Amino acid sequence: ERAGTANDKTSDVVIAFEGPPTFEPSGFIIYLIKIMFAVDGYDSEHVYDKSCAEIITFAFQILVAICATVPDAGKSLITIPKVEEWIAKLLVHSNNENIRDAALFGFYSLFGCLNSHELKFELFSKLLCIFQCMESVCATAEQFYRLLEMLVRRFHEQNQEIVASNHFSEFFNSLIHSLRTHPIVEVTSQIHDPVLAGILTLLTTLNSFRNDLKQRTGVQLMEEVFYKCLFEIPTFDSNPNEP
């Protein structure tokens, strides 16, 4: 006798559900990060491949969805070992501008989905660690500094007390130090310095939100920018590492 009729073809099939499939967010997040680490921006003939940026974009979309919907996923992301290396590889060290652009908007979206200011500032602190180690001359730093400036504005819009905190005062002082120690190099007008441009943009943005910083360092900052940074004539002592 048949187990079922023509209208009941599945009567002899038993499907047992023991519960929803397990999902371990930290492991999946690490897997996504490994995928992004493996993307170098080149095809098989070592030519820049635009599709690599699409991989980064899709990976960030999945990562953002996880952090927005899975409890503690954002905390798992922050605590992954060497997360700064992943950020720096995509935002600073990649020679593919399309990848750096995709990473810029991916990280900005990631900040937006984190469910607490503490997590956002912890991730922002990772960026500041990279800033402290940033080379004085870096042709691929534009997206990194753009992200920092966009996040400072976002912090100010969401909670002005955060931008008024001592953390941002220390960040401002670090920017001043970076400006003062930036090498003076005689270059043509065609050469763009994304590090110097990024530092000046961040100083301008922080000054616009912090009157106390503006009043305390305004004159010294103007002297540093106009008399030393822009118009001082370079000498051998300015940058002895240059030929």
Whose structure tokens read 């106390």? Answer: 212
* Number of DSSP helices (H) and strands (E) in the chain, helices first: 11, 0
Query: For residue 144, what are its two tokens?
Result: 């990194």
Do 139 and 124 fall within a single domain? no
Q: List all residues 6 or more positions away from 54 whose beta carbon is below 8 Å from its beta carbon.
A: 102
220's torsion region: left (phi>0), alpha (psi -120 to 50) or beta? alpha
Whole-prediction pTM: 0.77
CA distance 144 to 142: 5
Do 65 and 35 fall within a single domain? yes
What integer best gives the mean pLDDT of the chain? Answer: 78
CA distance 19 to 35: 29
Give a yes or no: residue 195 inside a domain.
yes
Query: For residue 230, what are its two tokens?
Result: 């822009």
Is the predicted pLDDT of residue 173 greater than 50, yes or no?
A: yes
Give a yes or no: residue 46 inside a domain.
yes
Kindly report, residue by residue over 209-236, the tens digit of the pLDDT: 877 766 665 545 555 555 455 555 555 5
- The residue segments making up the domain with residue 206 are 135-236
CA distance 12 to 16: 13
Higher per-residue confidence, 239 vs 128: 128
Do 32 and 123 fall within a single domain? yes
Do 42 and 96 fall within a single domain? yes
Query: For residue 2, what are its two tokens?
Result: 């048949």
Do 119 and 204 fall within a single domain? no
Do 27 and 126 fall within a single domain? yes
Do 104 and 156 fall within a single domain? no
Kindly report, residue by residue over 17-51, the tens digit of the pLDDT: 455 445 688 888 999 999 998 887 655 555 566 78
Do 148 and 196 fall within a single domain? yes
Across 42-72, b (16+ Cβ under 10 Å) vs e yields eeeeeeebeebbebbbebbeebbebbeebee
Do 61 and 125 fall within a single domain? yes
Look at the alpha carbons of 178, 180, 183, 189 in this order and tell me if their dihedral is positive or negative.
Answer: positive
Q: Give me the amino acid identity at 85.
A: E
Give a yes or no: residue 161 inside a domain.
yes
- Secondary structure of residue 226 in the 3-state scheme: helix
Of 55-64, 179-188, 206-215, 234-243, which has the strongest mean pLDDT? 55-64
